[in-house]
Amino acid sequence: MAAIHTATPSSQRRGPEPPAAAFLRIRAATLAICEPLAPEDCVAQSMTEASPIKWHLAHTSWFFEQFILRKTAPGYRIFHPRFEYLFNSYYQSVGRMHERPRRGLLTRPTLDEVLKYRRHVDIHMRELLEARAEDEALAALVTLGLNHEQQHQELMFTDIKHLFSCNPLQPAYRERAIEDSPPAEPMRFIPFDGGVREIGATGKHFCFDNETPRHRVYVEPYAFADRLVTNGEYQEFIRDGGYRRHEFWLSDGWDLVQREQWSRPLYWTPALDCEFTLAGVRPLNSAAPVAHLSYYEADALARWAGARLPTEAEWELAAEAEPIAGNMLDRGALHPQRHEDQPGLRQVFGDLWEWTASPYGAYPGYRPTAGALGEYNGKFMCNQFVLRGGSCVTPPDHIRGSYRNFFYAPARWQFTGVRLARDL
């Protein structure tokens, strides 16, 4: 595929970005992710939880077609009558959908046809945005669609990584030099006061509905680790029998470890000295954060360390004064890095999504978005846990302190890690 370069990151721009400019920038960024890939890489599906890259490209276009163009653009003609079925993800209000585990069987439409579909949608979206540049309701829908696309950009990286890890050739998505780094500094715990506080989105900027309403919570005084848990520290957990000692594990987690014979993080080699990355197999950096842990592994590690996972309220309150900066997609590392040497909290944003002890549920007074878009977040508020902070493949203009990511406890293919907390 031809290289398509992204525009200037939002952190380097001045003033609010017009919706039309944001649309072009983010849509181009999605195609740029595909630049190192061959067409064959874009069709395969490595597991039920992942999707082919071709499907991501089509689904993000379907989102704009379904929720904006078909309802807003006069005279708009859909690109293909069966795409509504093929590329619907989980919107029951829209209609039936192709089964998720079978997305990798969609050899047709071809990648070329999907790219034509994207161009078709882009042309009509540009025309609509130019004709209705002052339409605030349209701008709000476009902003939602672009944030949805940025979520899929992150999923594209994690799905590519899992797909390539299943290949005996263990190919690299992008080559990267091996860099030496000094040892991690000793972990410190920073105290935070308790009391009645507020969390949730303030309403000043875009947010998803699950971040609202802003509400009061009560927290006891607590201590928050100043950095993420490292590979070296996780090696100690393993060597101390972490995967063999049931006393550290929740019951469901212990059953899973026994059933699947887990003995190390998802992409580590059996010798515990290398890991598979988007740059291929690389020596394990003991000072870098340990990645691709399930909730069960994160919780077991915390118990072994004499600590616990923070609640999402504790995480948000600790992070509220921190700048939105860190090892995210714009840095291009595509892998968690050793913490920076600075006082206070490190790695709050970027590097890894941080598991919290909080089940994913509704805030008091929560109301899902009306219509089909109400299926975006609310109907998943069951049997999942909240993660905070973003990762090394999160676009920097996509994350914020109130952002609530969520996954099932066994999930390991996402860039997930651990920050510890303690009671005071």
Question: Whole-model pTM?
Answer: 0.95
Residue 285 in tokens = 């950096």
CB count within 10 Å of CB 351 equals 29
CA angle 140, 142, 143 (to 5 degrees): 65
pLDDT of residue 10: 43
Average pLDDT over residues 381-394: 98
CA atoms within 13 A on the CB side of 422: 13
Average pLDDT over residues 339-348: 96
Cα-based distances in Å from 419 to 165, 223, 320, 357, 392: 26, 11, 16, 11, 16
CA atoms within 13 A on the CB side of 122: 18
pLDDT of residue 378: 87
Residue among 239, 206, 250 nearest 355 (CA): 250
Average pLDDT over residues 355-362: 98
pLDDT of residue 15: 62
Task: Characterize 270-309 residue by residue with b for buried, 16 or more Cβ atoms within 10 angstroms of its Cβ, and e for exposed.
Answer: eebeebbbbbbebebbbbbbbbbbbbbbbbbbbbbbebbb
Tell whether the model's pLDDT for residue 6 goes beyond 60: no
d(CA 248, CA 232) in angstroms, rounded, equals: 19
Average pLDDT over residues 252-269: 98
- Backbone phi, psi, residue 148, to 5°: -60, -45
d(CA 406, CA 401) in angstroms, rounded, equals: 15
Residue among 301, 29, 33, 298 nearest 158 (CA): 33
Q: In the block, which residue shows the tokens 């999160």?
A: 394
